[in-house]
Chains A and B, each alone.
Chain A
Amino acid sequence: MKTERLTRIVWVNRVLLSHYRRHPLQAIFLLLGLTLGVALWSAVELINGHARTSYADAEQFLGADAHFWIRPTGENAAVSQQDYIRLRRLGFVELYPIIEARLQTREQDWLILLATDFMALPIADAQNNSSETATPFVGDALAFMTPPFQTAVPESLASELGINPGDQLTLTNGQRLPPATLQSRPQQGERLVVDMAAAFEVLNRDNFDYLGVTKLSASREQALRQALPEGLILTRNQQSLDLQELTDSLHIQLAAMGWLAFVVGLFIVFNAVRFSLWMRQATLTTLREMGIGLDDLALAIALEALFWSVLGTLLGGGLGFLLGNLLLPTVSSSLGSLYGAIITPTVTLTARHLLQAAIMTLLGVTVAVAGPIWLSARRSIRQQQHQTLDQQFQPRQLGVQSLSAVALLGLAALYYFQIDSVSDGFVLLALVLFGSALSLPPLLYGAFWLAARSMPASWWRLRWAMRDAFAQLPHLRIAMMALLLALVANLGVSTLVGSFRIAFTDWLTVRMSADVYVQSATLDADALLTQAPLKVQASHARTGLNLRWQDRPTEIRGVNTQAPDMRSLPLALSEPNALSQWAEQGHLRPILANEQVHHLAGVNLGESVSLPTDTGTVDFQVVGFFHDYGNPYYAFYLPKATVSQYWKNAQPMGLAIWLQDTNLQAFEPDLLDAGAEPGDWIDQRQLMSVALQIFERTFAITGALNTLTLGVAGVALFAALMSIHQQRLHQYAHWRALGVNQQEWLLIVGGPLAGMVMVTGLLAIPLGAVLSALLIADINIIAFGWSMPLNWSWHPVANLAILTTLTLILTGLTALWRVQRQLPNALIRLGGTA
């Protein structure tokens, strides 16, 4: 670029930016929009990443949620270090060793000690499948893994046993555990945790009880089976609760909402940029009169857009990081703890995310400035001299906007019947949302036109107010569209989260209704149930096998039709009396299938499925589909006897036990007496409570984000109102000179604003419902093959109405205050120029 032109561009930029020096509020709103949009998007990314980390952490730490176990086959046998090391050296890094021992203290308290090799835990999975190799051990973790070691004692247990940090528990054999550190993780339960080396010393052993194995692909599973030495067996954890798979759906949809928040932010920017350009229209025209070409102007404006985008992205990224920390106190508090380096939010807020945000922001700002530049290019300087902002929103533009809205919504209606992938679903959502947003200004225009026409002439103040709406609409339409999107996003997320909460809680309550789940090769189940009849209320021993059906892994489960969890099995879709038909097993061989069979394999109620059995293919009639959230496989339930009849190789799949008084600790000696090893059973109540805690944490954060999204829209409205009043101050001074008092002014200016917000709010309700329905009833099924009932509640609507009204009152009062402050000056000027 020639120096002469460069100098010119610099001066044009200086002229353009001088606007913000004199109108800092506009610069603040512009930055606020960009910053909040980017911050919300970053925070959602951060939270999603953190939640996934928590789930993976829960799975891996407990071992109870390992996808497989490697156990010794012989009586009282253990897994030797040599076997473990050999498997790791063969490349099976998914393995981690576990010792789970029941110990008695000198004070006669029974405790469970869990030990693992923290260096071996495959925590890299926790980072959204990132292959980053950051070591998870920093700070206190080193003290944990090196002599004299530490014992992580849950705070509740410490308080029960009177243990303070640094205390050492003495066992009955005189051995002392490493110094206590109070450190509870929700997944830890009431267990003590030590490093493997410490456990070897205390327990005077050098082998492991079993190995945990994280998720394996079919080929890895096969390879591991072949590599296992004699005496070790790989078994699938039948009761594993894969929180990540369960919540993948929620996170995909939250991510979509994060993008929506970002778009709302961009609307603010769009509004602010366009407004600042319109405010500078006279300056732009003067520059053109002085010989600045459109190309130079466009370049200068693009540079300004770049400047704002970079600044907004950096500030937004920083704020997102702070927001993430604020919303996730556990993140900050865990920084110095065992997994600190992994769970730190900086892991998820990467340069890639910032770059993505910067590109999106720049794109948004460019779109915002492209319109005015294009319009300028089409007009001669003389035409621009006579242009005012009010002329920007002409009936022609209204028509174009209406047609665009109708076209987008029509396209969405047609597209609805074509969607068969998640991306299709999100395109559909975008069409619906943007179509609706575009339809808002014409709707508002129509509503005010009708209101103005239907009012009697004697209501002149109200008629004036309705007519004034046409002057306000060009300024406020983008802000109203942003508000609409924010309200829709809010209602959508609230409904989504509410539906998830109810569906998952109900489902978990049934699925994990038993107090304890035992999966043991050495347990004598009959002996257990015989020896402790007073403690056991009910039990459910399942059998089963895995096979392939329709080219997909498929689970066949033999169940006790009268077990408590089967009698109340929630069915998504069923024939009348499905459960009794199925339990009785008539000649049509009724079978229950998971929803995935219906949605993904296309099997309808009453149709037959042909399953491969020992005696060839046998047809079973599907009488019901049960909810099976998060299961990527097909699954079928049959009575145990039917499974034994058709599949001789069906294996025991564990034993669920309902206790009389839910006191697992009192029942544990019975389990040990009946041959179970420590670690063979899972405290289901504990597991369920952890799962619910994690869900609740995510939901709470979502609620906070929701409020912030609305806050962003509130800022848009506020910014637009401030600008409009600044622009119209001269006009208000004229009104005041005519004798219009403050109450009349409030009615004329505030009435249309309240009307616009009301129409926007009313439109948001059906749109929010449509958005939730699309997410829950269509996109979720397409993506995951399972559905959940849509739980529509008016509670969020009421909350939003209150919040929006408060925002409106706050912005209205601030605007009033500013106008009142500036009006005397405007009146003086009016006198000066009259």
Chain B
Amino acid sequence: MLRFTHLSKGYAQPDGFLPVLNDVSGEVARGESVALLGESGSGKSTLLHLVAGLDVPDHGTMLLNDISLTDASAQTWNRLRREHISLVFQDFHLIPTLNVDDNLKLQARLAGQLDLDFCNQLIERLGLTGLLHGLPGELSGGQQQRVAIARSLAHRPTLVLADEPTGNLDEQTAQDVMTLLIDCVRAANSSLLMVTHSPAMAAYLDRRWHLKAGELHED
């Protein structure tokens, strides 16, 4: 479903060019979950951003459902992010001025794929029923992340990209959120590529990739 080959990316710095990813390749199948592990600065988020179309690789190719993303236009990327790719961030990225209900249905509405029954299932499964009319700022970190997860899955995307979704949460909350994420991703039949530096969190997922010195290795 998602395949990237020979991806390279680096950034110009005042003291020269800094390579981050060096000829990395990988593949995630439909319904599969993959953890991307590595130390700070190893390029985990960069790889996630490239796959999400938030940044452009220097070299390499990417395919999603056999559609080439290498030379995709901005419009194509926008449509993909609206309908097929979802993002979950460490700091939630919720709209602070919309209530929980509007937040979790927003992406589905923008994609024109709102399924109220499925949304209600997600709300129930994620324990958000009593929180729907509050604002994100009134929720705890764990609650906010559950809203973000619901939002990312409400339109049943093909691929969920999560960037350290439990990084801001305490251990117990992180475990709860992780369980729910895996559970909901499976319910939506989506694939998951998750960046984390925690082996404990990575253990929840089907496969584990390690990024070291810009190179990708699988366990």
- Taking a contact as CB atoms closer than 8 A, the residue among B55, B56, B75, B106 that contacts A290 in the complex is B106
Q: Let me know if A290 and B110 touch, CB within 8 A.
A: yes
Q: Which A residues touch B106, using CB under 8 A?
A: 11, 15, 290
Whole-angstrom CA separation of A15 from B110 in the bound complex: 11
- Taking a contact as CB atoms closer than 8 A, the residue among B55, B56, B93, B96 that contacts A289 in the complex is B93
Interface residues of A in 441-478 (CB under 8 A from B): none
**A-B contacts, 22 listed (Cβ < 8 Å):** A7-B112, A8-B112, A11-B106, A11-B109, A15-B97, A15-B106, A18-B95, A18-B102, A19-B97, A21-B97, A283-B96, A285-B93, A291-B78, A291-B85, A291-B110, A291-B111, A292-B82, A294-B74, A296-B78, A380-B55, A382-B49, A385-B54
Whole-angstrom CA separation of A287 from B95 in the bound complex: 9
Interface residues of B in 107-148 (CB under 8 A from A): 107, 109-112, 135
Nearest-neighbour CB distance to chain B for A803, whole angstroms, equals 36
Known interface pairs A290-B82, A382-B54. Does A18 touch B98 (Cβ–Cβ under 8 Å)?
yes
**B-contacting residues of A (Cβ < 8 Å)?**
4, 7-8, 11-12, 15, 18-19, 21-23, 282-283, 285-287, 289-294, 296, 380-382, 385
Q: Which B residues touch A23, using CB under 8 A?
A: 97
Q: Which B residues touch A287, using CB under 8 A?
A: 110
Closest 4 CB pairs of A and B: A291-B82, A291-B81, A18-B97, A293-B78
Q: Which B residues touch A21, using CB under 8 A?
A: 97
Whole-angstrom CA separation of A199 from B52 in the bound complex: 92
Known interface pairs A22-B135, A286-B93, A292-B110. Does A15 touch B98 (Cβ–Cβ under 8 Å)?
yes
Q: Let me know if A292 and B78 touch, CB within 8 A.
A: yes
Chain A residue at minimal CB-CB distance from B109:
A11
Q: Does B6 contact A (CB under 8 A)?
A: no
Whole-angstrom CA separation of A23 from B93 in the bound complex: 19
Known interface pairs A380-B54, A380-B56, A382-B54. Does A289 touch B97 (Cβ–Cβ under 8 Å)?
no
Nearest-neighbour CB distance to chain A for B13, whole angstroms, equals 15
Q: Let me know if B87 and A289 touch, CB within 8 A.
A: yes
Nearest-neighbour CB distance to chain A for B82, whole angstroms, equals 3
Nearest-neighbour CB distance to chain B for A449, whole angstroms, equals 23
Q: Which A residues touch B110, using CB under 8 A?
A: 8, 11-12, 287, 290-292
Q: Let me know if A290 and B54 touch, CB within 8 A.
A: no
- Taking a contact as CB atoms closer than 8 A, the residue among A19, A282, A290, A381 that contacts B107 in the complex is A290
Whole-angstrom CA separation of A11 from B102 in the bound complex: 10
Whole-angstrom CA separation of A807 from B93 in the bound complex: 38
Whole-angstrom CA separation of A11 from B135 in the bound complex: 18
Q: Which A residues touch B135, using CB under 8 A?
A: 22
Nearest-neighbour CB distance to chain B for A30, whole angstroms, equals 15
Q: Let me know if A289 and B54 touch, CB within 8 A.
A: yes
Q: Does B164 contact A (CB under 8 A)?
A: no
Q: Does B178 contact A (CB under 8 A)?
A: no
Q: Which B residues touch A283, using CB under 8 A?
A: 95-97
Whole-angstrom CA separation of A292 from B49 in the bound complex: 16
Chain A residue at minimal CB-CB distance from B140:
A832
**A-contacting residues of B (Cβ < 8 Å)?**
49, 52, 54-56, 74-75, 77-83, 85, 87, 93-98, 102, 106-107, 109-112, 135
Known interface pairs A286-B93, A291-B81. Does A7 touch B87 (Cβ–Cβ under 8 Å)?
no
Known interface pairs A294-B74, A380-B55, A380-B56. Does A289 touch B95 (Cβ–Cβ under 8 Å)?
no
Chain B residue at minimal CB-CB distance from A4:
B112
Q: Let me know if A291 and B112 touch, CB within 8 A.
A: no
Chain A residue at minimal CB-CB distance from B168:
A833
User: In the complex, which of the residues B79, B93, B102, B135 has the most CB atoms of chain A within 10 Å of its own CB atom?
Assistant: B93
Whole-angstrom CA separation of A359 from B87 in the bound complex: 41
Nearest-neighbour CB distance to chain B for A417, whole angstroms, equals 46
Q: Let me know if B97 and A290 touch, CB within 8 A.
A: no
Q: Let me know if A7 and B55 touch, CB within 8 A.
A: no
Chain B residue at minimal CB-CB distance from A381:
B54
Known interface pairs A18-B95, A22-B96. Does A291 touch B54 (Cβ–Cβ under 8 Å)?
no
User: In the complex, which of the residues A11, A15, A291 has the most CB atoms of chain B within 10 Å of its own CB atom?
Assistant: A291
Whole-angstrom CA separation of A23 from B107 in the bound complex: 23
Chain A residue at minimal CB-CB distance from B52:
A289
Chain B residue at minimal CB-CB distance from A5:
B112
Whole-angstrom CA separation of A811 from B97 in the bound complex: 26
Nearest-neighbour CB distance to chain A for B170, whole angstroms, equals 12
Chain B residue at minimal CB-CB distance from A23:
B97
Whole-angstrom CA separation of A294 from B111 in the bound complex: 16
Q: Which B residues touch A290, using CB under 8 A?
A: 81-82, 87, 106-107, 110
Nearest-neighbour CB distance to chain A for B7, whole angstroms, equals 15
Q: Which B residues touch A8, using CB under 8 A?
A: 110, 112
Q: Which A residues touch B85, using CB under 8 A?
A: 291
Whole-angstrom CA separation of A11 from B105 in the bound complex: 11
Q: Which B residues touch A19, using CB under 8 A?
A: 97
Q: Which A residues touch B87, using CB under 8 A?
A: 289-290
Q: Which A residues touch B54, using CB under 8 A?
A: 289, 380-382, 385
Nearest-neighbour CB distance to chain B for A489, whole angstroms, equals 36
Q: Which A residues touch B96, using CB under 8 A?
A: 22, 282-283
Whole-angstrom CA separation of A7 from B49 in the bound complex: 28
User: In the complex, which of the residues A11, A23, A290, A382 has the most CB atoms of chain B within 10 Å of its own CB atom?
Assistant: A290
Whole-angstrom CA separation of A753 from B110 in the bound complex: 43
Whole-angstrom CA separation of A303 from B98 in the bound complex: 19
User: In the complex, which of the residues A8, A23, A286, A380 has the most CB atoms of chain B within 10 Å of its own CB atom?
Assistant: A286
- Taking a contact as CB atoms closer than 8 A, the residue among B56, B81, B97 that contacts A22 in the complex is B97
Whole-angstrom CA separation of A611 from B154 in the bound complex: 93
Nearest-neighbour CB distance to chain A for B60, whole angstroms, equals 17
Nearest-neighbour CB distance to chain A for B147, whole angstroms, equals 13
Whole-angstrom CA separation of A56 from B168 in the bound complex: 75
Nearest-neighbour CB distance to chain B for A396, whole angstroms, equals 15
Chain A residue at minimal CB-CB distance from B74:
A293
Q: Which B residues touch A289, using CB under 8 A?
A: 52, 54, 81, 87, 93
Q: Let me know if B79 and A291 touch, CB within 8 A.
A: yes
Whole-angstrom CA separation of A282 from B98 in the bound complex: 13
Nearest-neighbour CB distance to chain B for A365, whole angstroms, equals 21
Whole-angstrom CA separation of A762 from B88 in the bound complex: 52
Q: Which A residues touch B77, using CB under 8 A?
A: 291
Nearest-neighbour CB distance to chain B for A28, whole angstroms, equals 16
Q: Which A residues touch B102, using CB under 8 A?
A: 18
